[in-house]
Structures are given as C-alpha cells and as structure tokens.
Amino acid sequence: MKAQPGQKAPLLSISDWVQGTEVNFDQLLGRVVLVEVFQVNCPGCFLYALPQAVDLHRKYSEHGLTILGVATAFEDFDKNNLENLTRLAAHGEVVGETLRVLSQQGKLNAGRLPYQIPFPLAMDRLVRHRGEVTDNEIADFIQNRIPDFDRQPKAHQQQIRQQVLNYLQSLDYHAETFELFDLKGTPSHILVDKQGVLRDCAIGPYPKLEAQIQSLLQE
C-alpha cells in the first residue's frame, strides 16, 4: 500500500544508519518530522535541498522539529550507495556529478562540503530486482506518472509501455522508502505531523516548506 497524505505515515524502510541514532515515525510522536530524501550523486540535492534542511534544523530542532536524511538510489547505483554515504557523513566527501558541479560553483573546501550535516543520516533499503517485469508493475508505473495515458493514441500507448518496460528492466535495485512514498525523483521531502500523519510529499525546490513546518509546529 502506497503512503497517502492524510493517513498514518508508514515506517521508513532503512538498511543502515550511518549517523545518529536509529529512529522512525512511531518513536517521534509529538514532533514534526521532515525526511529529506536525496541521492549522493545528485547536485541539486546539495545545492539547495540539504542546505535548506540544515538551516531548518538550526532554526527549529529545539522547537519540535526532527529532520532525518535518507539517501536513496534509483539510478547510478555505483555511486548512490552506502559506501559513499558513509564517506559523506564522516568526512563531507562528495562524488560524481555532485563533486563536479559543486566544484565548478566553488561550493567545496578542498573537495569537501564546508559544513557538517547535523541530523541523522540513513540508507534506503535497496532490494535487488528479481525476475521479469510484470504487466501490473508497468501499469502501476504509468498510472502514477502519466495521468492522461488512456487518452493517448493506441500506438503511443504501446510506445510508452515499451519505454517503461525498458526503464524498469534497467533497474538493478528497488528502493523501498522511495517507492513506498511514491516519490518521483530527488531531492524530495516527506513531512509528517505530530500525530504521525503524512502531510506532504514533494519533489524539488519547495520555498513554502518553512511556512508549512511553522504551521505544523503550532498545531
């Protein structure tokens, strides 16, 4: 069952905690919880999403906000992995496109982040894909991402199905938390209120996030 806003948030599916104490939504009742979902090989995650999360932690952690960082992977599995997450947590090291882009923009000190991520960091549970991709998997993927699929010409529908099949076959792993919350990419965030109810999932820059958190803290 996919997570649904307005309903109790399912527990995060985590393989390893590399920083901080293992924790989940059921242990954080009474606090607002922001989960920042990112990939290690994701420049945008480090250009705005993680710095925003660090700033929100600084402002609101003593006022009822808990932030958790969850590194996921839906591509580039050779870079978006536990080893590189551990290096990030321990030394601020970044890799791949993140290293290239942040270096170009002068965002690194000696190839490392100029700040320490202050909240717990964990690795999404990755399950190796086994067997053939089923028609139901293809249909679910299309339904969640292409709302006007049924109105497309039949030939175009078949083309889309083939493209989705090729994409799903290319995946080495399924990331359980990423899929459970039906996230569309990274960076994304998951926002849960003090009662453990999922209030929002969103992708990309989200300027209204701070105001949303302030409102939830006052409930």
- pLDDT 10s digits, 164-218: 887 777 667 789 999 999 999 999 999 999 999 999 999 988 889 999 999 999 9
Residue with tokens 């290239």: 100
Q: From the CA atom positions of the chain, what is the Rg in Å? A: 18
Same domain for 94 and 42: yes
Band of residue 134 on the pLDDT scale cut at 50, 70, 90: confident
Stretch 56-78: mean pLDDT, rounded?
96
Same domain for 152 and 194: no
Domain range for 155 is: 130-170
To the nearest whole number, what is the mean pLDDT of the chain?
93
Distance CA 118, CA 68 (A): 10
Distance CA 110, CA 69 (A): 24
pLDDT surpasses 90 at 26: yes
Residue from 41, 93, 103, 96 nearest 71 by CA: 41
Is there a contact between 117 and 50 (Cβ–Cβ < 8 Å)?
yes
pLDDT surpasses 70 at 130: no
Count of domains for the chain: 2
Q: Is residue 75 part of a domain?
A: yes
Q: Is residue 1 part of a domain?
A: no
Is there a contact between 189 and 205 (Cβ–Cβ < 8 Å)?
no
Same domain for 147 and 195: no
Same domain for 206 and 188: yes
Beta strand 121-124 with 65-71 is parallel
